[in-house]
Amino acid sequence: MILMGKKGGPLKASRLGQVGIVVNDIDKTIDYFKSTFGIQPWSIVEAVPDVAVARGEAIDMQAKMAMAQAGSVQLELIEPLAEIALYSDFLREKGEGLHHLGFFVRNIKERLAEAERTGIEVLLYGKIAQLGLTVEYVYLDTTPIGGVIMEFIQVSFLGIALPMWAPLLTMGTRLQEKLGL
């Protein structure tokens, strides 16, 4: 497996944007982070991707996810609602904890192709599209060195790639609260 090649590496990671944590009980974990660390507000969604391909095979996926900003980094909590090997196996084998580090990018297709060229296994490719907003993400198996999955995330609106900007998540969360969603 090649992680570095040219100056900066073929998969040069942008600034860390997300820390993904797999949990058994998302509500309990949110309460803990709120009461102990003051991390809030949280945007909570039940995610069913339009496309989910794990190790080359289409899968059904359903998970409860919660996101909040902790400074410039997004915390993502993931509670599998169905048997999803990537998350369920993690919980069985390791218990709750750090699952992945996410990097927001504007060229996910190029990153995916480069990962394949460098021999890094793609664990999961997913795509969620709603109301013109599209989130594409790819988990790369970088666990043999470093012990953690690396994720690339691309957010776009009407086909235009957007940076994942902390105030955008906060505004969306507040709108979700006001509308009672």
In order of their start, the domains of the chain are 16-174 (3.10.180.10)
Q: Per-residue pLDDT averaged across 33-61, rounded?
A: 90
Q: Which amino acid appears at position 156 of this protein?
A: S
Q: Per-residue pLDDT averaged across 91-119, rounded?
A: 92
3-class DSSP state of 112: helix
- Closest to 74 in 3D by CA, of 41, 25, 116: 41
Check whether 111 has a pLDDT greater than 70: yes
- Closest to 33 in 3D by CA, of 83, 67, 57: 67
- Closest to 173 in 3D by CA, of 70, 42, 47: 42
Could you tell me which residues come within 8 angstroms of residue 140 by beta carbon, excluding any fewer than 6 positions away? Answer: 11, 115, 120, 121, 122, 123, 149, 150, 151, 152
**Residue whose structure tokens are 């999961």:** 124
> In the numeric block, which tokens belong to residue 58?
């289409």
Quote the mean pLDDT of the chain: 84
Range in 56-65, 138-147, 172-181 with the lowest mean pLDDT: 172-181
The pairing of strands 149-157 and 97-104 is: parallel
Q: Which pLDDT belongs to residue 79?
A: 96
Check whether 37 has a pLDDT greater than 50: yes
For the chain, the distance separating the N- and C-terminal CA atoms, rounded to the nearest angstrom, is: 44
Whether omega for the bond prior to residue 167 falls within 30 degrees of 0, making it cis, is no
Check whether 122 has a pLDDT greater than 60: yes
Q: Per-residue pLDDT averaged across 62-69, rounded?
A: 92
| pLDDT: which is higher, 109 or 132 | 109
Q: Which pLDDT belongs to residue 92?
A: 93
Check whether 6 has a pLDDT greater than 50: no
Percent of the chain with pLDDT over 70: 83
Q: Which pLDDT belongs to residue 160?
A: 74
Q: Per-residue pLDDT averaged across 114-138, rounded?
A: 90
Q: Which pLDDT belongs to residue 86?
A: 87
- Closest to 130 in 3D by CA, of 156, 108, 154: 156
What is the distance between the alpha carbons of residues 112 and 51, in angstroms, rounded to a whole number? 15
Check whether 95 has a pLDDT greater than 50: yes
Contact 9, 3 (CB under 8 A): yes
